C-alpha cells in the first residue's frame, strides 16, 4: 500500500513542481520513481514502531538518529536509483542512436547527496510529525475516520516530499532542465501544484472505498 499510494503521490508532487507537469523532464521523473520505490520499502521497514515510554531527550535523540539513518539510506538509494535510471537511458541510446534525452543525466554522486540531504532533513521531520499526528488521531477518531485520515495524510506527505525534492535538486544543481519554462508552462505548473494533492487524496479515497 505504501509503495502504491506513497510512490504515486510522490511522483505526482515531483511532476507538479516541474515545468509542463514534468513532460519535458521525464528522465528526471523516472529517476525519482526508481529511487522513491527503493526508499519507500526500506524506510517503512526501518520505521516499524517500537513500544515504550520516551522522554523529551530521547525523542530529540530519535530525530537525530533517524535523520542520520534516513540520510544514509537516501544516499545509498540515490546511488542505486540514479545508476539504474542512467544505465537504462544509456541502453536506450545504444539501441536507438537517434534517441536524445531532453536533459543532461544527473551526476550520480551529487544526486545521491541531494537525496541524502532530502531524506535526512525533509523526510525525517515530515515522518516524525506524521507519526505523532497519527498517534493522536488513533486516540480520538473512530476507526473508519482514522483509516481514511491516515491514507489522506500520507498522500499529502508524499506529494509534499516530491515537490520539496525537486526544489532541493534545483538548488544543489543535481537536476537542471535544458529547456526553460515558458510563461504558459509556468502557469500550468502552478495550477498543477494546487491540484496534485487533491488528485492524490482522491486516489487514496477510491482505494479505501474498494
- Rounded Cα distance, 25 and 28, in Å: 5
Q: C-alpha 29: how far from its chain's center?
A: 11
Percentage with pLDDT > 70 across the chain: 80
Q: How confident is the model at residue 202 (pLDDT cuts 50, 70, 90)?
A: low
Percent of all residues in the chain with a pLDDT value above 90, rounded to a whole number:
15
- CA dist 11 and 83 (Å) reads 19
Q: What is the pTM of this model?
A: 0.72
d(CA 170, CA 132): 30
Q: For residue 143, what are the CA distances in angstroms to 29, 52, 140?
A: 36, 23, 9
Regarding predicted confidence, which is higher, 70 or 47?
70
Give the model's pLDDT for residue 83.
86
H helices within 96-182, ranges in order? 108-117, 124-140, 143-172
pLDDT of 109-168, one tens digit each?
998 999 999 999 998 999 889 888 998 999 999 999 998 998 889 888 888 888 899 899
By 3-state DSSP, what share of the chain in percent is helix, strand and coil, each rounded to 5? 80, 0, 20
What pLDDT, on the 0 to 100 scale, is given for residue 72?
Answer: 92
**Could you report the per-residue pLDDT of 175-186, keeping only the tens digit for each?**
776 555 555 554
Residue at grid coordinates 542520520:
68
pLDDT bin (cut points 50, 70, 90) of residue 86 is confident
Rg of the chain taking only CA atoms, in angstroms: 18
Mean pLDDT of 52-65: 83
Please identify which residue in the block is written with the cell numbers 536509483: 81
User: Would the pLDDT of 54 be above 80?
Assistant: no
Band of the pLDDT at 104, cuts 50, 70, 90?
confident
Res 210: pLDDT:
54
Looking at residues 10-33, what average pLDDT do you find?
81
Interatomic CA distance for residues 205 and 202, integer angstroms: 5
Q: Which residue has the higher pLDDT, 170 or 193?
A: 170
Reply yes or no on whether the pLDDT at 6 is more than 90: no
Determine the Cα–Cα distance for residues 69 and 56; give it in Å rounded to an integer. Answer: 20
Q: Provide the pLDDT for residue 19.
A: 79
Amino acid at each position: 500500500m505504501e509503495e502504491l499510494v506513497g510512490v504515486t503521490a510522490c511522483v505526482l508532487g515531483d511532476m507538479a513542481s516541474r515545468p509542463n507537469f514534468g513532460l519535458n523532464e521525464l528522465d528526471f521523473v523516472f529517476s525519482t520513481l526508481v529511487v522513491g520505490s527503493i526508499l519507500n520499502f526500506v524506510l517503512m521497514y526501518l520505521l516499524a514502531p517500537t513500544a515504550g515510554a520516551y522522554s523529551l531527550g530521547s525523542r530529540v535523540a530519535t530525530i537525530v538518529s533517524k535523520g542520520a539513518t534516513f540520510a544514509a539510506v537516501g544516499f545509498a538509494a540515490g546511488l542505486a536509483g540514479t545508476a539504474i535510471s542512467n544505465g537504462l537511458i544509456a541502453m536506450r541510446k545504444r539501441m536507438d542512436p537517434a534517441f536524445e534525452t531532453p536533459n543532461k543525466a544527473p551526476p550520480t554522486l551529487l544526486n545521491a547527496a541531494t537525496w541524502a540531504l532530502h531524506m535526512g532533513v525533509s523526510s525525517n521531520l515530515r515522518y516524525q510529525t506524521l507519526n505523532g499526528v497519527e498517534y493522536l488521531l488513533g486516540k480520538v477518531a473512530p476507526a473508519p475516520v482514522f483509516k481514511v485520515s491516515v491514507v489522506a495524510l500520507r498522500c499529502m506527505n508524499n506529494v509534499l516530499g516530491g515537490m520539496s525534492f525537486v526544489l532541493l535538486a534545483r538548488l544543489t544543481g543535481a537536476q537542471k532542465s535544458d529547456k526553460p519554462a515558458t510563461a504558459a508552462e509556468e502557469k500550468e505548473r502552478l495550477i498543477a501544484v494546487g491540484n496534485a494533492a487533491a488528485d492524490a487524496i482522491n486516489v487514496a479515497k477510491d482505494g479505501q472505498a474498494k
